[in-house]
Structure 1
């Protein structure tokens, strides 16, 4: 009989890695965990531990005809919901971390709460990066999120900024919020920085990462005689926005290395090793950046705004330059400040910072925080003012 059930739709990339690490750490800490999720990619990320009871959900399809992809998604959703419902027969505590669409998740959570289950929702983002419904239906989506946060017994936030956003935008009470940081992603020992003027924008390509402004900043630096080059690696989530970016790239194509699409895990170490720093010019951002955590642990400086969890990573000692405002001039200024300092100094600084951050984001300590929260007494019914 599993003490905890963790349910998620994720199976690849940083979000899935977070969930896989969390399950493995909880199991290592002595908890029995039922893990409901698609099979990990790569499969060696699977949390193989005697305390893990594995329930595999079909993966979604990322390529192929739209009808086939929709059918595959429906199979994933229905299988995951069924397995989670069946798990209620033996488990009382459920963790949801990036669950299925709200249309399906809300009825499931209502049933679980009415049955006396305890629900911990890991809030990666208080508000979505991109709303699913058109603007004239935005209030419906907002209401669904409001209900989601009320149905959860506890909301686990990865950053202070996320907790503040939940209070500000959704009036969530402070006693319902617990801040537990994002654990460390380790790829191996830090290598010296190459120092060839290569910067990296890594992860899904979205408007709130200010990719367009980063491209403009690179063009400004090159016009000023700085021989910078930018690698853009990740999946395009907003095609209209990417077309804006492409029009700028076309001005100096030799300054950009485009690697569009999902980046397999085995390619990530080489991508980082060829870069002097990772650029994260976030705006309107309250969550934690898994890319920043990954870069910091790999001994790579981060040139970033102090938005969301990035501010907390800088407070923990992450090496890098801060961007005052995600506009081309300020981003270019941060690039110039970065390269005005000897690359050997950055390399030494980032290596020490990576060790420090790794010790503060240790998964064993994080699992202990989750277990203390899970094992403290709580009410089982849905309170009127949840």
Structure 2
């Protein structure tokens, strides 16, 4: 049995972390043995345990933590690791260094623009290490692939495109209920759901402005936001809301474990991002049968076809959000995009397709 060592930077919930867990879950049913190293306890650790893997914990604070590398090297030797698979910039750097030291094949997965942020310390050196040590570099969207090619020295021959996958079985059940009752909304309310942690790239300030405009135009529309609330940014959003002449209909739910149930109760899904590598929540909405509004922020243009599988709008444009919500109240348009989007998601973005692509890389480099 071949052993894969899996590394990821973060410990809390998010899109990349969900993909990480879903990939591990699928790999548990293959011939590979999976070893997972995390930086600490948290949501990711809990999810790893839930699929039958006991995570190992090694602290990796600092830009180049030699103690972390030493501990990983001991683990690679002790567990007879055959291949290293890392996710996000920090883990990609350490995984590549480890691969060079231990002479093991290594796959580095980049999940979004945050992985190539210009303000990142030692970015050129980090890309050089990944370029040397990684056997394959995976991008989750063509846009991200183009950004990496333009802003880094990573060898083009090593870069692969693998779209993130979603498990369609999560959305096969009958629509859930209870959300409108929980929020105290009337049955006739239109619920517009957004999913994603509150951070600058998600563009929630534009959602707030849209909700302020919508409160005057159509008070029956309610915006629901699901995701961790970073205190400083959330405070700015609250200040923005407090300044409004008329309070907008926004419900901040924070982190929720029942995202699939919430999506199945949405009337519309909204992605207001200003930058997006690949939006896993947009694909989930497609599979849940929810009509989608998404900004042209990178990844969505590869996922959706405007007017066919969803509505694509400009970034930073609250008026466009309001207009798109009004358009999707038309049942003819809504039903058309729902059916086409679901079929498209099953064909292009299923968990099985993602697993098959990674499985092919694992086999290719382990054999070599």
Shift of 1:32: 3.0
Q: What does 1:274-289 correspond to in 2, within 5 Å?
A: 274-285=265-276, 287-289=277-279
1:292-371 equivalent positions in 2, closer than 5 A: 292-315=282-305, 319-339=309-329, 341-342=330-331, 346-347=334-335, 349-350=337-338, 353-371=341-359
SS of equivalent to 1:253: coil
Task: Give the corresponding residue for 1:63.
Answer: none
Query: Residue 272 in 1 paired to residue 263 in 2?
Result: yes
Q: Give the drift of 1:165.
A: 0.7
Check the 8 A contact 1:205/1:237 in 2, yes or no. Answer: yes
| Alignment partners' CA distance in 2, 1:355 and 1:249 | 38
The Cα of 1:313 is off from its aligned counterpart by 1.4
Q: How does 1:47-196 map to 2 (within 5 A)?
A: 48=51, 54-57=54-57, 84-89=72-77, 90-98=80-88, 101=90, 106=93, 109-128=96-115, 138=119, 140-150=121-131, 151-186=133-168, 187-189=170-172, 191=175, 196=189
Residue by residue over 1:248-293, the C-alpha shift from the partner in whole angstroms, topping out at 9 and shown as x without a partner, is: 322233512122x4x2313x244324421221122233x1112212
RMSD value over aligned CA atoms? 3.6
Matched, 1:246 2:214: no
Distance 2:8 2:341 in 1: 32
Distance 1:144 1:277, change over 3 A: farther
Alignment of 1:217-228 (within 5 A): 217-225=210-218, 227-228=220-221
**Distance across 2 between alignment mates of 1:109 and 1:315:** 36
Uncovered stretches (5+) of structure 1, i.e. residues with no partner = 59-70, 132-137, 381-386
Residue aligning to 2:222? 229
State TM-score, norm by structure 1: 0.76
| Secondary structure at 2:304 match in 1 | helix
**Hey, what does 1:211 align to over in structure 2?**
204
* Paired residue secondary structure (1:140): coil
Match of 1:256 in 2: 250
| Cα deviations by residue, 1:289-340 (Å, 9 ceiling, x for unpaired) | 122122222222221113222112114998432213332222222222222x
CA distance in 2, matches of 1:364, 1:212: 36
Q: Which moved more, 1:116-125 or 1:271-280?
A: 271-280
List gaps (5 residues or longer) in structure 2: 178-186
